[in-house]
């Protein structure tokens, strides 16, 4: 069986390709967009369309959703499987989502509940996964000296979102600034429920959007949902920025905290900024060698679990994460990982597990075993194929 995979440079694409090949599929790749991020959809279509004609592919696969590719598959009659690993993915508002060749897999149940009505029976909810084989190889082949470079009490890998928060460019009235500050200071401490979109009126959403220079506009052929755009693409990112800065600042004042990021950390004088970490050959070592790995899920992920959780556990790392409503459905809290429900709770958990190594190591082992049994890409892709062609 031969499949076509269109790539744009997602960090998990190599792991997915490896898994497809392990389960016996031949993968043809198109990588033009990895090297040229300025390609227009029409140019991408011109590159891909000839490759999909006469090659007898069993299906087309992408990480995240490409409307122009879905339209090509609709014309050629090829099944198009899309695995969503980010949130928000604004391309999901395209009318192309309703094409009957689509098989779209969403890792967030609230995202699924929002979009499933637009292509009933062709949109699915499924958790994400990780590549144990790669992580194990990186960890087992590293020398003691190399591994020791990544030892730390608490580690966090990721952006603090300052450079990604387009809402920082908004020019707000005093009233709107107070309103937004109220949303941030309320939502930032609520775990397992994102209420931002529910409290926005259509009028308020339109007004806030108009305050953002060069804001996103839904392209032709898309449904327009301004409330969702403002809530998920702008305000949720602002909340994530403030949450990460406050939590990391709090922890770094009391513990030795390493952060691997390109973000500005000057507001946290006690944190140790280690710069970017390479995803394929450094992250598994960081996860494995850190006493505590910290996950702070972006608020735009409303119920599901991000890739970071699976990757940490798949590297044998001990994880403390924020509570998400889908967390107890996929992992056993307190057995596979640990979840915090407030800043004070997070600080208490860090103190406790830094002093209780045996419990920490046992939980890390349990988390790894659960990943190996249920949440590898080999397992997940077989489930996706089964659902896509059922």
Supply the CATH number for residue 36's domain. 3.40.50.2300
- CA torsion angle for 269, 275, 281, 282 (degrees, to 10)? -10
Same domain, 233 and 332: yes
Predicted confidence at residue 53, as pLDDT, reads 87
Structural domain including 13 reads 2-129+377-388
Task: Label residue 266 exposed, middle or buried (CB < 10 Å: 0-12, 13-18, 19+).
Answer: exposed
Strand partners, 320: 294, 338
> How many C-beta atoms surround the C-beta of residue 185 within 10 A?
11
- Work out the angle at residue 13's Cα, subtended by the Cα atoms of residues 10 and 14, and round it to the nearest 5 degrees: 125
Same domain, 9 and 125: yes
In the DSSP assignment, the letter for residue 319 is E
93 within 8 A of 225, measured Cβ to Cβ: yes
CATH of the domain at 335: 3.40.50.2000
Same domain, 257 and 338: yes
375 within 8 A of 130, measured Cβ to Cβ: yes
Q: Which two tokens stand for residue 312?
A: 């940490």
Per the structure, the count of domains in the chain is 2
Per-residue pLDDT of the chain (390 residues; tens, 9 = 90+): 999 999 999 999 999 999 999 999 999 999 999 999 999 999 999 999 999 987 799 999 999 999 999 999 999 999 999 999 999 999 999 999 999 999 999 999 999 999 999 999 999 999 999 999 999 999 999 999 999 999 999 999 999 999 989 999 999 999 999 999 999 999 998 988 999 999 999 999 999 999 999 999 999 999 999 999 999 999 999 999 999 999 999 999 999 999 999 999 999 999 999 999 999 999 999 999 999 999 999 999 999 999 999 999 999 999 999 999 999 999 999 999 999 999 999 999 999 999 999 999 999 999 999 999 999 999 999 999 999 998
Same domain, 335 and 194: yes
60 within 8 A of 6, measured Cβ to Cβ: yes
Instruction: Classify the C-alpha dihedral 366-384-279-167 as positive or negative.
Output: negative
Length of the chain: 390
Same domain, 356 and 286: yes
CA distance 197 to 306: 20
CA distance 196 to 165: 16
Same domain, 313 and 177: yes
Same domain, 94 and 180: no
CA distance 63 to 347: 35
Same domain, 365 and 243: yes
Same domain, 55 and 176: no
Same domain, 96 and 205: no
Nearest in space to 166 (alpha carbons), one of 118, 115, 209 = 209
Task: Label residue 12 exposed, middle or buried (CB < 10 Å: 0-12, 13-18, 19+).
Answer: buried
In terms of pTM, does the model score above 0.85? Answer: yes
Contacts of residue 343, defined as CB under 8 A and 6 or more positions apart, other chains included, come to: 189, 246, 247, 250
Same domain, 116 and 184: no
Nearest in space to 59 (alpha carbons), one of 19, 1, 7 = 1
Contacts of residue 237, defined as CB under 8 A and 6 or more positions apart, other chains included, come to: 161, 164, 165, 166, 167, 298, 299, 300
Same domain, 108 and 179: no
């Amino acid at each position: 069986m031969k499949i076509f995979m269109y790539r744009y440079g997602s960090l998990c694409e190599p792991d997915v390709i490896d898994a497809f090949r392990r389960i016996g599929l031949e993968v043809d790749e198109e990588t033009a967009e990895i090297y040229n991020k300025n390609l227009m959809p029409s140019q991408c279509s011109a590159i891909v369309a000839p490759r999909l004609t006469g090659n007898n592919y069993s299906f087309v696969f992408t990480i995240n959703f490409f409307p122009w590719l879905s339209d090509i598959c609709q014309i050629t009659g090829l099944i198009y499987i899309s695995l969503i690993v980010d949130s928000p993915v604004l391309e999901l508002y395209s009318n192309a989502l309703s094409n009957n060749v689509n098989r779209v897999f969403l890792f967030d149940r609230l995202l699924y509940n929002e979009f499933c009505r637009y292509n009933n029976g062709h949109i699915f909810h499924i958790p994400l996964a990780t590549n144990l084989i790669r992580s194990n190889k990186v960890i087992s082949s590293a020398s003691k000296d190399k591994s020791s470079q990544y030892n730390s009490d608490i580690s966090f890998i990721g952006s603090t979102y300052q450079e990604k928060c387009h809402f920082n460019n908004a020019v707000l009235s005093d009233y709107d600034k107070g309103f937004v500050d109220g949303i941030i200071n309320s939502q930032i401490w609520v775990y397992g429920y994102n209420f931002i979109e529910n409290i926005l009126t259509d009028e308020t959403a339109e007004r806030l959007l108009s305050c953002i220079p060069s804001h996103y506009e839904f392209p032709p052929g898309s449904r327009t949902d301004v409330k969702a755009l403002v809530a998920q693409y702008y305000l949720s990112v602002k909340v994530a920025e403030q949450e990460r800065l406050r939590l990391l600042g709090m922890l770094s004042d009391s513990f030795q905290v390493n952060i691997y990021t390109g973000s500005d950390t000057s507001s946290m004088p006690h944190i140790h900024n280690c710069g970017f970490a390479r995803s394929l050959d450094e992250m598994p070592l960081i996860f494995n060698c850190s006493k505590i790995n910290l996950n702070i899920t972006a608020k735009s992920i409303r119920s599901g679990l991000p890739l970071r959780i699976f990757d940490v556990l798949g590297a044998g790392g001990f994880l403390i994460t924020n509570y998400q409503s889908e967390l107890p459905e996929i992992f056993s809290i307190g057995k596979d990982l640990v979840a915090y429900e407030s800043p004070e709770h997070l600080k208490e958990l860090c103190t406790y597990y830094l002093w209780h190594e045996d419990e920490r190591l046992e939980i890390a082992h349990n988390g790894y075993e659960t990943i190996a049994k249920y949440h590898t890409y080999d397992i997940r892709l077989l489930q996706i194929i089964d659902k896509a062609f059922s």
